Amino acid sequence: MRLKLIFISIFVLLYQYPALSEKINVFDFTENELESLKVKKVKGKTNYSLGINENGNFLRAESEGTGSGLGKEIKIDLIKTPFLNITWKVEKNLVGIVENSKKGHDYAARVFAIKKTGSTVLSNRAINYVFSSNNSVGDYWPSPFTKKSIDYVLSTTKEYDNEWVTVKANVKEHFKLLHDLDVKELSGLAIMTDTDNSKIKAISYYQNIYFSSE
């Protein structure tokens, strides 16, 4: 009888306090990390700097006719943690550009989810999660420079202009939808603020980028 009561008590505790969701942090936004991130230059160099607020460290990005990204090779188990979480803000947007054209293919804020699918960089597949200045959440299209990268709008300044917003995306489902790939493990993540095509100025902020189980 006593053993039965113990099992019942354990069951009640598990029901009341379910297992904590798993969380994999990607960026810390510290000086040491900033020095270690891989820099990918498209044209010129975006100015990245660090800051801190009540919610922790953040990265500030400023670009005017430049484009460079910061990347990290990190293996993410998309079976366990398929959800990408991003907190970001666009202070100065790129309203008026045509984002799915070569001349307007710029974003004040974007985060690339990258899957290696071959021996060269050109063979990689990517989903480019963007903070759009002109389109709506849920819109997507292939990059005008390569069909192996798909732009997907997670936030828009039409709704959040100079405001922090937190978004979530199921990366595993999106790779299936957008690339028809059943991706079990992600290869890396990159951040980029760029205006090399439009030649205008953008300012944005990134914070709390991590993967979660739910």
Domain ranges of the chain: 21-212
Rounded to an integer, what distance in angstroms lies between the CA atom of residue 97 and that of residue 85?
26
Q: How confident is the model at residue 118 (pLDDT cuts 50, 70, 90)?
A: confident
DSSP summary character for residue 144: S
Question: CA angle 41-108-83, nearest 5°?
Answer: 90
* 21-212 has CATH 2.60.120.430 classification: yes
Per-residue pLDDT at 174 exceeds 90: yes
Q: How confident is the model at residue 77 (pLDDT cuts 50, 70, 90)?
A: very high
3-class DSSP state of 116: coil
Q: How confident is the model at residue 8 (pLDDT cuts 50, 70, 90)?
A: very low
Task: Tokens 């970001």: give the residue.
Answer: 88
The neighbour count for residue 5, using CB atoms within 10 Å, is 9
213 near 76, Cβ under 8 Å?
Answer: no
pTM over 0.85: yes
The neighbour count for residue 175, using CB atoms within 10 Å, is 23
Strand partners, 42: none
pLDDT for the residue numbered 18: 42
In the chain, what percentage of residues exceed pLDDT 90? 84
Per-residue pLDDT at 148 exceeds 60: yes
Question: CA angle 159-141-180, nearest 5°?
Answer: 120
**H helix or E strand, kind and range, residue 9:** helix 2-16
Token code pair at residue 108 = 């004040």
**Helix extents (H) in 37-170:** none
Rounded to an integer, what distance in angstroms lies between the CA atom of residue 6 and that of residue 32?
49
201 near 114, Cβ under 8 Å?
Answer: no
Tens of pLDDT, residue by residue over 94-114, are: 999 999 999 999 999 999 999
3-class DSSP state of 122: helix
